[in-house]
Amino acid sequence: MAVTIKEVAALAGVSPSTVSRTCNNSPLISKKTQERVRKAMEELGYEPVGGENPAESGKSLGAIGIVLPSYQQENFENPFYLDVIRGISKTCNHLQYATCVLSGKNESELLESIDLLRKSSSKITFILLYSQENDPIAEYLYDEGLRYVMIGAPLQHDTETISVDNDNFSAAYDACKYLIEHGHKQIGYIGLDSSLAFSARRKQGYQMALLEHDLALTAGHCMEFDPTDEQKVQALQDMLTQKNRPTALLVVDDLLALAINQLCRQFGLHVPEDISIVSFNNSVFAKLSIPSLTSVDIHARQLGIEAALQAINHLETPDLTPSKVIVPYSLVERDSVKTL
């Protein structure tokens, strides 16, 4: 009979989730603990790949519902969600939990999907791939007493919500500081709707970096953008064609940065010769863009891994105190920033 992850955990004196984190090379596990876990794996002859595959064992220990925001086409185009789901699925397969991705064209349809899934299993929890103000999905899960993990900073019921996030404030602060260190003093910020927790926190980090370096928060250089909104496209054009336009932009997402790059070309501006860009997510689009984008890697797959581990830990031990996990970020330098 194959050695299980729980046997490894017992020998190493850790939880099964710590064994799974070690197998996934999580930076949250100390080197000393990783060495102890790997020694136990070696002693028992544990093979992490496939050893806990539910398809082989013929059973699932429970189910995880992965909740996307109510249907928008960009949800399925943005590699952030795909990377997070890959992290969740990898961990759930490893620990013998089934997964189901839930979405809907509107909030009512999404709530129906959640309700159907909750009726299909007595041992189920949910992972919300987003955090948003006044979100009826999160409120429904909370009001119904359903277990859930949120990827992002909880904006309601903070002390009672399990969450996995980056320090988005510090990430944006450091990205803006990077531009300042490259000689930029006129720096713009292009974000999304501030009701989204990550976008609001990145905006705050950008603003603090400017203030602490005695740089002006110029009116019109900080905006929430939607490339499908003609008024907002016009506002961006006005910003980029004015006399004191920014020499650099901090953009909240790689996909949005690609759209901004295309619009800059239409306005006769070239990256990085005329304007520099730093974006977030370090997705495949950042690598393939021309020029390739300097981007903050928020380690989306690790967010998914940690969210799955928290969901399973709290499902198996319901009395655990709600936890807050912060996944580190890193700045990946490429070709979209010019030194002034």
Considering only residues 188 and 23, tell me which one the structure prediction assigns the higher pLDDT.
Answer: 188
Residue-wise pLDDT for 214-263, tens only, equals 999 988 899 998 878 889 889 988 998 888 899 999 999 999 999 899 98
Q: Distances from the Cα of 109 to the Cαs of 105, 106, 151, in angstroms?
A: 6, 6, 21
The dihedrals phi and psi of 279, each to the nearest 5 degrees, come to -125, -170
C-alpha 284/C-alpha 211 separation (Å) is 33
pTM: 0.82
Three-class SS state of 300: helix
* Homologous superfamily of 168-297: Response regulator (3.40.50.2300)
Chain-centre distance of CA 248, in angstroms? 24
* Separation CA 127–CA 137 (nearest Å): 11
CA dist., res. 280 & res. 41, Å (int): 36
Cα separation, 315 vs 117, whole angstroms:
16
pLDDT at 195 over 50: yes
Cα–Cα distance measured from residue 188 to residue 206, given in angstroms and rounded to the nearest whole number? 9
Do residues 35 and 46 lie in contact, with contact meaning Cβ atoms separated by under 8 Å? no
Query: For residue 158, which amino acid is it?
Result: D
> Which segments of the chain are extended strands (E)?
63-67, 98-102, 124-128, 148-151, 162-165, 187-191, 222-224, 248-251, 276-280, 294-297, 324-326, 330-332
The closest alpha carbon to 252, from 218, 215, 224, 211, belongs to 224
Give pLDDT, residue 254. Answer: 95
- Measured CA to CA, the distance from residue 107 to residue 137 in angstroms comes to 7
Give the per-residue pLDDT at 48: 67
Give the range among 23-27, 28-32, 64-68, 275-279 with minimum mean pLDDT: 23-27
Domain segments of the chain as ranges: 1-52, 57-166+300-328, 168-297
Rounded to whole angstroms, how far apart are CA atoms 238 and 220?
A: 9
Omega before 291 cis (within 30°)?
A: yes
Taking CA atoms, 76 is separated from 80, 171, 257, in Å, by: 9, 25, 17
Three-class SS state of 98: strand
Q: Which of 150-154, 219-223, 271-275, 298-302 has the lowest mean pLDDT?
A: 219-223
Which CATH superfamily, name and number, covers 57-166+300-328? Response regulator (3.40.50.2300)
Q: For CA atoms 303, 170, 137, 16, give the dihedral sign.
A: positive
The dotted CATH code for 1-52 is 1.10.260.40
CA 258 to chain CA centroid, Å, is: 19
pLDDT of residue 290: 93
In terms of Cα–Cα distance, which of 32, 68, 84 is closest to 327? 84
Q: Token pair 């990550």 is at which residue?
A: 198
Establish whether domains 57-166+300-328 and 168-297 are of one fold.
yes
Torsions phi, psi of 15, nearest 5? -85, 160
Side-chain-side CA neighbours of residue 166 (13 Å): 27
Do the Cβ atoms of 338 and 178 come closer than 8 Å? no
Q: Is the pLDDT of residue 19 over 80?
A: yes
How far apart CA 27 and CA 172 sit, in angstroms, is: 21
Contact yes or no for 233/259 (Cβ under 8 A): no
Average pLDDT over residues 159-165: 95
Distances (CA, A) of 74 to 113, 253, 257: 20, 12, 14
Q: How is residue 142 written in tokens?
A: 């909370």
Does residue 120 or residue 269 have the better pLDDT? 269
